[in-house]
Amino acid sequence: MGVRWAAAFLVALGGCGEQMHVASATSVGAAGPARGATASDGPGGEVGGDMAGDMAGPAPSCVSGQIGDATVGAAFAVGSDGLYWVVSSLHAPDNALWKMPKDGGAAAVVASTPSEHSGGKGLVADADGLFLLVTGSPDLDPGGPGWISRVAPDGSQTRIADGDEGCAPYLGDLADDGGSLLFVAHADPHCEDRTSYVLAAAKDGSGTRVLATAQAPRAPHADGGEVYFLDGTRLERVPEAGGAVETLAETGLGSPGLVAIAGGFAYVGDLLASQVVRIPLAGGVPVVVGSSASSGVQLTALAARGGRLYVGTSAGLVDEAGDGSEERWLSAARVAALGFDDAGLYAAGEGIYRFCN
């Protein structure tokens, strides 16, 4: 049945967000370089949600605990030279893109996006650079379709992909796939054609490919030559090179929205029911490996690496065995996004925290 994340952890931690040391993570078979969120992964692990991760070289030293006090939305990335995030428009109407050293310290604005475009909703940071996805306005006038840009160190931006001016203008769920960026384009509900898309954009701006059409695509992730994504309540996959879409499993969840992949399994999280199921990539029946014991807890982010599953929630961060056999709470601070590097795990939301290997 999997573990149930007990609300009693708040009492055990005294509500103070006490940090616990994360067990050392071991690389287990992810394909290609580290990928980004919403989402992204470390070697052998992947993060679900609108965030990104980059596997940098090992830090000379690492201290677990809170390293920043920023309020971070779902757009968060771990780069080789620092941490990047976009503050939600509620807290920063200019939709500023921020950067901070991994060991903590002063944060600085490195770029911004027009507020009428709903701000940055996806980040990827890797050896190829920093990439920002802007969702697009729900009203095409004045906002217009979304886009993806490469952000230079001086903050200047070069567009490498644009949303459709027609009936699929709204972009989301940016993820890394080596030489390409995966993302989804959602249909305009006012259009007669309600088709949405899973796409791959070349990082050099040379073109965008349609990998699949779908009704409600979410959370694309690449592993082993396949791209996995949610379409409604189903987990689907399609070859990275293109081809037929295959349904891997019906998740059994009412509102699936997060995916993490590691060790031959896909982990899918339900955004409303706060439940996580594990599905073998070789095929099989979904098994519940975690759920909330409190109806007030919302699932916000997923990450998997080294046989461990990290579950971000509105009430804190859970570290559990991939098979759901045991769990522990790492933090009582709200989590919006997760990311890895060789030093450990980063959690961003109400503050930024690092948990060393």
Chain centroid to Cα 142, Å, comes to 28
CA nearest 308: which of 291, 293, 328?
328
**Pairwise CA distance, residues 97 & 112, whole Å:** 5
User: What residues contact 179, with CB distance under 8 A and at least 6 apart?
Assistant: 128, 202, 203
Strand, helix or coil at 317? strand
Could you tell me the pTM of the whole model? Answer: 0.83
CA nearest 240: which of 220, 257, 256?
220
Q: Taking a C-beta distance cutoff of 8 angstroms, is the pair 120, 98 a contact?
A: no
Domains along the chain with CATH numbers: 3-356 (2.130.10.10)
**Eight-class DSSP state of 332:** S
Q: What are the pLDDT tens digits along the chain (357 aa)?
A: 566 765 434 333 333 333 333 332 222 222 222 333 333 333 334 555 433 333 333 444 788 999 999 888 878 999 999 999 987 555 455 578 899 999 998 999 998 776 555 556 789 998 889 999 988 765 544 557 889 999 998 889 999 998 886 788 889 999 999 889 999 999 888 888 889 999 999 999 999 999 999 999 999 999 999 999 999 999 999 999 999 999 999 999 999 999 999 999 999 999 988 899 999 999 999 999 998 877 788 999 999 998 999 999 999 999 999 999 988 999 999 999 999 999 999 999 999 999 998
Look at residue 117 in the predicted model and tell me its pLDDT: 55
279 HSE (CA, 13 A, CB side): 27
**Pairwise CA distance, residues 270 & 70, whole Å:** 26
**Pairwise CA distance, residues 145 & 77, whole Å:** 23
